[in-house]
Structure 1
Amino acid sequence: MLKGLCRFTGVVALVCSTFSSALRADNSTQVYTGTLGKTPIVLEVNPDTGDGRYFYQKYRKDLVLSGTKEGEMLVLEEGDETQPHPSMRLQPTPDGWSGEWTNAEGKVLKVELQQAKLAPVPADTLPYLVQLHDKWPYEYLRLLGLKLKQGQTENFMGYTLQWWSEPQSKIQLFEVVSGYSGQARERINQQLMARLWRGVTGYFECANDYTATNYDQLSQPMWMTTSVMSTVISTDSYCGGSLSDQDNEALNFDAKTGNALTLEDVLWVGQGKPLHFERNYYQDDSSQAWSDYRTEEWTPWLLAQLLRLYPYEMTAKPETEDNDCRYNSEDPWSYPGWYFTEKGIKLAPSYMHSAAACRNTGWSVLPYSLIKQHPGGVTLQLP
């Protein structure tokens, strides 16, 4: 029986309830639960093309599927074409699929799949898990049954933090347990725990039985005051392909309200009233306005400030560097990462993963004295 996910102080608990209707992951893929042999699996597939993936509930790691249709039969090939691999031949049933799985050695196991049905989530479920339940049932089922382990308590800049980790993936992040108002703390912690579970999902999506993979994540609080808070999540991953990747993601909060902050909330150099674009990022008019602002107003202004503040670092040095980062070009600075520090906002330029080393700039800080001259849309008490 499938069970709902509910979060209590960093632990995912299981709750039995009545089932909802069968689930679609999106407009093209369907999610099924069932068995391969006697082993429980969860499978997501586009029944028209056969493209999809599945995982054994015990291991939770993706196995990629590619497929074809032979009449009503769905033929799914597992893995890539570089080595012999298992396949499934499935016939439709009133509630799913039935057929056989065969590996390269000729071993045959029966496959029985039914459309996934999930229990309604309890009222106090973490909002991120509610979103998975409603929109991405495959990922919700992957996390089903996982529990977070309570770790150490830390004092950072006068605020008490409680660390949590997921043992299988070793992904960890903290909650704030003292120092802010109850409402702000709840909002901040919901977003921190959502990011922890996103990291767990990323770990399992990266894992692959056919290729050596690596997914390491480190979380670090960077700055906490009565007004603002920043933490950085650094991910070092190799999920197949020719190159590994390094990524630093910052979470920035208004400590008074617990709301997430965008760069425009803090710093605005455009005309008129500051706008909060990312809140409506999936609306075409909003995303276009955001893109126009970043390329036409923000980036030229930022380049001018960085060239004035850091002329040596911003000067191209192709004669001394085999792979010059060209910090004086516009592209890296249109959509930088950022977080609060003691002296100002630290900006991290954006580069493709093939030039990930260029993201590591220790110098690119905009001082608070400059930021206060161009306040964003949220009133903040900055140093």
Structure 2
Amino acid sequence: MPTLQPFEVRPGEHAAYLEALRRALDGTGPALAPFAGHAPVLPTYAESGLPAHLALAVGTSGSTGTPKRALLTAEALIASADATHDRLGGPGQWLLPMPAQFIAGTQVLIRSLRGGTVPVVMGHFFDDAAQQLTGERRYTALVPTQLTRLLESHPDALRSFDAVLLGGAAASPRLLERAFDAGVTVVRTYGMSETAGGAVYDGVPLAGTRVDIDGDGQIEITGPSVAHGYLGDPERTAAAFRLGAQRTFRTGDLGSITDGVLAVQGRVDDLINTGGVKVAPRIVEEAVERIESIGEVVALGLPDETWGQAVSVAVRTSRDWDWSALRDLLRADLPPYALPRRFLRIEKVPTLGSGKPDRAALAALPGWETVPDSSAAQ
């Protein structure tokens, strides 16, 4: 019967977590509930109800609702790590530039264990950490905010990697173009704690994984890396998973598949309901990002007495914009109902611990400006 032990991942002490993961994977140690800082209050559960070979109860990002802990077996974690190396061209040495208690960081360590290599943990400087890598093949994993900043500060270090996995949040086409022009080998990943990390690379599922779109337009992932549900939460497990010989997770993300390639359109929970019309934030973000001098963009819905929610964008930009002029530039790319009504200039995008934009924190910031629209349409 598996046992579950909270495990604190302390800064600078990743070797201890690496060893605990090794023991969790081979069954000589307990399953782990990793955390940083304050010890988690785990939900009530019966050890008899834990799946066999449980290795990890990893926290979700908490981007929507209450954070949960996905139950991942050793087989699921290993399947994900091995399929990643298979897609990338073989095992290599990894640089860890993100918190290890989340699935993206944990998988960097598990891939290192599977590849028989020693990971390098980033300190204050990315280029210094990159220079410590000695493996024949070199990999790292970043979120878009990290890639944006490193392209500005350390492009040479980025070019030294055989692959830079990019996930955690949607990456703008402009960011991907910048990386390509800089000679950086970026591999876009899509996945979450419930799929043991990235399960789809550059729109194509990893070996053994299948991606479908259900009748509501939501993405479903089926395969060996899918979790066995949520710790101590049978109701949310039943709502999100189909468990059996093959496990399927209903992601809560909208998407489409064209010629076998998945396109992710954003979370159902992030849709902006303005005047009864639902707007996907990603469509708005991509339109704004195409404008010169615009950096990072996050679109969200803010409460509005007339429309229910107003399409709003927070932008990192080098220009002191007249927001009405910016809105007018968007008319060629967005329908009237999707045009932003509120704007906020920011120096930095606030993020959750996993690296995803923190929309709740953005909504709470002061300084949002409303742009009147004199057109007859919204």
* TM-score with structure 1 setting the length: 0.28
More strand by share: 1
* TM-score with structure 2 setting the length: 0.28
More helix by share: 2
